[in-house]
Amino acid sequence: MVGAEVIMEDDEFDLKIKHDFITESLEMLSWVEDQFLIFEQNPGNSKVVDEIFRMAHTVKGSAMTCGFLRLGEFAHVMETLLVKIREGRHEPDSETVDVLLRANDTLRQYIEMLRKDFDAVLNTESMKEDLQYFIGPEIASLQSAPAIAFGFFDDDEPVAASSPVNIQAAAAHSSGTLESFQTTPLDEISYLTLKAYLSLSADSSQAGVETCLKTLEQALASLTLVRRRS
């Protein structure tokens, strides 16, 4: 019976983080619409570009964490174009603004679909090709740009598209955030924050990832018990 209870608690946890992700992402997309209005008028506004980038970066990382891999892959392509703009390697014009607006609409459409059905799949290939046209020959690869940020950990400078993965370095870079996490009261720790923290604790090997997942299962079981007793 204990094993069955743990499985049920794990399922409840998965549903919880997925619902939280969808709610928070839709709120973020609503907020970023105002930034897009400014972006249309002034594509060279670096602060606005930064805000739109953070949205795409957060959706990518959180979607991958929740298991919405196709959504995360699409958000990553959008993020890659925004990285080029931030780094001054692409001068945004009206066509760039248009493709990013359409990409933002696609994100919203996809997340709205997932709100009704977690298994929903939206065909984003055409939209990804439109984004890739402005990205150029660079490959928007998730293997070389890991989803190590989840919005709750704002790493403003992502790993460059051509850089190798170094999760340990990323974790060290976020040590200040992890320190504050460790001193946060239990009842103030969100489910996504907990999962993000544990993912940063894993090393880049398969064994490390598996160990991290096992640790997560144990932590979730303990967290559920603590909350039920409190």
pLDDT of 189 reads 44
Spatial distance between the Cα atoms of 74 and 189, rounded to a whole number of angstroms = 28
Q: Assess whether pLDDT exceeds 50 at residue 136.
A: yes
Spatial distance between the Cα atoms of 125 and 4, rounded to a whole number of angstroms = 40
Q: Assess whether pLDDT exceeds 50 at residue 101.
A: yes
Cα 158 from chain centre: 12
pLDDT of 215 reads 61
Report residue 65 as tokens: 């964490």
pLDDT of 197 reads 46
Check: CB of residue 202 under 8 Å from CB of residue 158: no
C-alpha separations of 42 from 18, 38, 48, 70, 100 in Å: 35, 6, 9, 31, 14
Considering the chain, what percentage of its residues have pLDDT values greater than 70? Answer: 55
The predicted model gives 110-137 an average pLDDT of: 96
Cα 38 from chain centre: 24
Report residue 196 as tokens: 């993000």
The predicted model gives 85-111 an average pLDDT of: 96
The predicted model gives 169-194 an average pLDDT of: 42
Q: Assess whether pLDDT exceeds 60 at residue 100.
A: yes
The predicted model gives 43-50 an average pLDDT of: 94
| Domains delineated in the chain | 2-229 (1.20.120.160)
pLDDT of 12 reads 84
Query: Is the model more confident about 12 or about 28?
Result: 28
pLDDT of 139 reads 60
pLDDT of 161 reads 41
Check: CB of residue 32 under 8 Å from CB of residue 104: yes
Q: Name, of 120-124, 152-156, 190-194, the range with top average pLDDT.
A: 120-124
Q: Which of 6-15, 106-115, 213-222 has the lowest mean pLDDT?
A: 213-222
Q: Assess whether pLDDT exceeds 80 at residue 108.
A: yes
C-alpha separations of 101 from 22, 77, 97, 183 in Å: 20, 14, 6, 40
Residues sharing a CB contact under 8 Å with residue 2, sequence separation 6 or more, in sequence order: none
Q: Assess whether pLDDT exceeds 90 at residue 25.
A: yes
Check: CB of residue 23 under 8 Å from CB of residue 17: no
Q: Assess whether pLDDT exceeds 80 at residue 71.
A: yes
Q: What mean pLDDT value characterizes the chain? A: 73
What would the pLDDT profile of 195-220 be if each residue is shown by its tens digit?
544 444 444 445 555 555 666 666 66
Residues sharing a CB contact under 8 Å with residue 21, sequence separation 6 or more, in sequence order: 62, 63, 65, 66, 68, 192
pLDDT of 169 reads 37
The predicted model gives 32-40 an average pLDDT of: 93
Check: CB of residue 128 under 8 Å from CB of residue 74: yes
